Amino acid sequence: MPRRDRISIQWKVFLYLIGFCILLLVVLWLLQIVFLNDFYKTIKTKEMQQTTQSIAKHIQQGNWEQITKEVSVQGDLTVELWEPNFGTLMLVGKLYNGAQITLNHWDKQTLMALTKQNGGSMARRYTGTRGLIWDQTVQESILYTSILTAANGEEQLLMVGANISPMDATVQTLRYQLYVISGIMLVLAVGLALIITKRVSRPIEALNRSAAQLAAGNYDVAFREGGYREIAQLSDTLDHAARELSKTEHLRRELIANVSHDLRTPLTLITGYGEMIRDLPGENTPENMQVIIDESKRLTTLVNNMLDLSVLQSGAKEINLQPCNITQQTQEIVHRIAQFCQKDGYQVVFAAHRPVWVQADIHRISQVLYNLLTNGITYTGKDKRVLVSQTVQDGRVTIAVEDSGEGIAQQDLPYVWERYYKVDTVHKRPVAGTGLGLSIVKSILQQHPHVDYGVRSTLGVGSVFWFSMPEIPPEL
């Protein structure tokens, strides 16, 4: 079900970007407008403290030039050195220009007393007005005072004053800049959102369209890769899913074709022979009846194989592991099959050096042997020979079924174990294969612990199907 109520990626990215911009602007606004005064004051007050200390040092060292320099760098300072008996010794700067205060002799004496009380240095904030009488603004200033002792032992009062309110013009400039920045950022955010969403959502939309085609049953659809790693990975995954789906679909079609073909051939024969025996006198011969019996058996095998495989693959039945003599079991099966095929000229040989015991489900392993052997006989070459061998190495026993048939092409080898897989069905001689035998073998062997299996094949020479399992001590 399409979820149309959900917000699209485009809008989401857009909203996130706009949100981010607004957040940035709020932070800027808080710093530049709301807290500007406090910031300015804090910074200025700190600066003033340092400046007063360094000026005091310069005075004591008689470094007058440095003082003038410092005042001109700071711009806004007033420095005065005052002695009670002599009056002002030095005055640099704009005479407390922030707040037009005037300190008379007595004020300075009081300040000196207060500074002394305060331990030799003191900071005072005061407000005053600034500008012409008809255009005044309130200014906050700070006055640092410090007691110095001259070389002759006289005490002197050092006063350093400065504005700590930012200039109106500065505030105005900042505010104006903020408006411009806000505008630029909003335009940029919109542009960026458009570019990003286009680049991100385009490939996703393309993938979505292809996925819709896949859902509609078009398994050949190709998922175009987008420019991003995640989208490329998603494309790969979807491509893989499409390939797997198409394989499954192919197998399903083939299964229906195979099964209906495999069922139809024996059924046609059974019906045909049945009608012939019913309608034609003298046709009720044991040979004709045998055809009906053989074809019915073939049907039974086919149906049984299908059932076996579905039971095995669903894991419905547990395997029953027991110690068993695999050499003896193989020998018996080879013997039985050899006798059965002898009349058609087949030669099935078993080669083993000694009896070997393994932990296995003997009935299931017998089915494996039976399937591998019937395949060997079915596909072996003109010499009609199949060799079954048992070898033991490093505590493992290997049973191999070798034929001298056409062999299997390297590219087909991994697939022969798959359900309903038949190599080159066109050129093969008509064999009653169902494509189920080897997948039953695979399922059974996979259920056994520590079992390996595989196939080696050379075109024109033959194939060897093998499995190996750990040997256990013999049970007597």
Site for ligand ADP, rule CB under 6 A: 375-376, 379, 403, 405, 408, 416, 421-423, 433-439, 463
Instruction: Specify whether the CB–CB gap between 137 and 98 falls below 8 A.
Output: no
What letter does residue 34 receive in the DSSP assignment?
I
Q: Cβ of residue 453: shortest distance to ligand ADP, in angstroms?
A: 13
- Nearer residue to ligand ADP within complex by CB, 98 or 437: 437
For residue 470, give both structure tokens. Answer: 């750990």
Instruction: Label residues 311-333 b or e (16+ Cβ within 10 Å = b).
Output: ebeeeeeebeeeebbbbebbbeb
For residue 4, give both structure tokens. Answer: 């149309």
Q: Cβ of residue 434: shortest distance to ligand ADP, in angstroms?
A: 5
Which residue of the chain is nearest ligand ADP when measured via CB? 433
- Nearer residue to ligand ADP within complex by CB, 114 or 257: 257
| CB neighbour list of residue 39: distance below 8 Å, 6 or more residues apart | 31
Q: Cβ of residue 332: shortest distance to ligand ADP, in angstroms?
A: 21
- Nearer residue to ligand ADP within complex by CB, 329 or 375: 375
Q: DSSP readout, 247-281? A: HHHHHHHHHHHHHHHHHHHHHHHHHHHHHHHHHST
| CB neighbour list of residue 355: distance below 8 Å, 6 or more residues apart | 325, 327, 328, 474
| CB neighbour list of residue 283: distance below 8 Å, 6 or more residues apart | 276, 277
Q: Cβ of residue 325: shortest distance to ligand ADP, in angstroms?
A: 26
- Nearer residue to ligand ADP within complex by CB, 79 or 423: 423
- Nearer residue to ligand ADP within complex by CB, 239 or 412: 412
For residue 429, give both structure tokens. Answer: 């001689």
Q: Cβ of residue 402: shortest distance to ligand ADP, in angstroms?
A: 9
Q: Cβ of residue 435: shortest distance to ligand ADP, in angstroms?
A: 4
- Nearer residue to ligand ADP within complex by CB, 140 or 406: 406
- Nearer residue to ligand ADP within complex by CB, 216 or 426: 426
Q: Cβ of residue 413: shortest distance to ligand ADP, in angstroms?
A: 9
Distances (CA, A) of 250 to 152, 223, 244, 246, 428: 111, 20, 10, 6, 20
